[in-house]
Structure 1
């Protein structure tokens, strides 16, 4: 394997630049990483070498060492679409099993698991197989599967911070 074309040592939850220099499509499991070589959509490769294991979010960006941004896209993957008349109760049972879940107004999406599917059917849920991008909820204590959401990032000798015009809890 040849050396990667690019290197990224930082990640941010959303783009700062209007024109990214590339994009990478990853499924849910592949979006949880610290150090790995990834292949971009255009065939180039990038060495991701983050300071800690990070959950990369749909629309987030890897910041390359030369200042470019690589956009993260959630891949289409096999999921279960869960619906039912008592969706809050169904969601509770999914959460009680610590199963990652994408929560929408009228449905829940989870990774395919026949044991969970059978349990959900037993409590009255409708369960169907689908293939979609999977962007489950983060935790109450932070985004994704990692620690709190902090907008201060170290980029060598300088510190990067900014404010947001969009709303989200910190």
Structure 2
């Protein structure tokens, strides 16, 4: 049986169904997803795309599937945010900048570093929508700090 296909993403409202995706899962080009209502469909985009709340997949038959950011296990950072943001950014960590706090993905090495820098830290579980790239689009990719990783880190989009 052929799955319905989505070749287009746009900003939209009044969707017919939704998919709930983590930050990492909202970066895709081709993947089978299942909606909250149980519909399986194939995402087949021309380019790898970073999706956010308010985006919708447009299925070939015109149905709209809304993208909803999933709650994730995050680290809330408070304190001298200018200094702490510099250290987080220097490690290429995706960061959501809110009024009075920064949210980052949990990482025990970064947690230890921030604690030593005097940050107030708290585990939270909520949707994660970090800042885009330098020109308001694209992604910053975190690097694993618990094990060795390959040399290629640049991901321009």
TM-score in same-fold range (> 0.5): yes
Q: In the alignment, does 2:19 pair up with 1:21?
A: no
Q: Secondary structure at the match of 1:119?
A: helix
- Correspondences of 1:8-157 after superposition (within 5 Å): 8-12=6-10, 14-15=11-12, 18-84=13-79, 86-145=80-139, 147=157
The two structures have a TM-score, normalised by structure 2, of 0.85
- Write out per-residue CA displacement over residues 30-49 of structure 1, whole angstroms, 9 at most, x where no aligned residue: 11100000010011111000
CA distance in 2, matches of 1:45, 1:51: 20
Deviation at 1:3, TM superposition (A): 4.3
Mark the runs of 5 or more structure 2 residues left unpaired by the alignment: 140-155
Q: Secondary structure at the match of 2:109?
A: helix
Deviation at 1:19, TM superposition (A): 2.3
Q: Secondary structure at the match of 1:90?
A: helix
CA distance in 2, matches of 1:134, 1:3: 33
- Write out per-residue CA displacement over residues 83-122 of structure 1, whole angstroms, 9 at most, x where no aligned residue: 01x1111111101100000000111100010000100111
Q: Tell me the C-alpha RMSD between the 2 structures.
A: 1.4
The two structures have a TM-score, normalised by structure 1, of 0.79
Mark the runs of 5 or more structure 1 residues left unpaired by the alignment: 148-170
Q: Secondary structure at the match of 2:112?
A: helix
Following TM superposition, the consecutive aligned residue runs of length 4 or more in structure 1 with deviations greater than 3 angstroms are none
8 A contact 1:58–1:74 mirrored in 2: yes
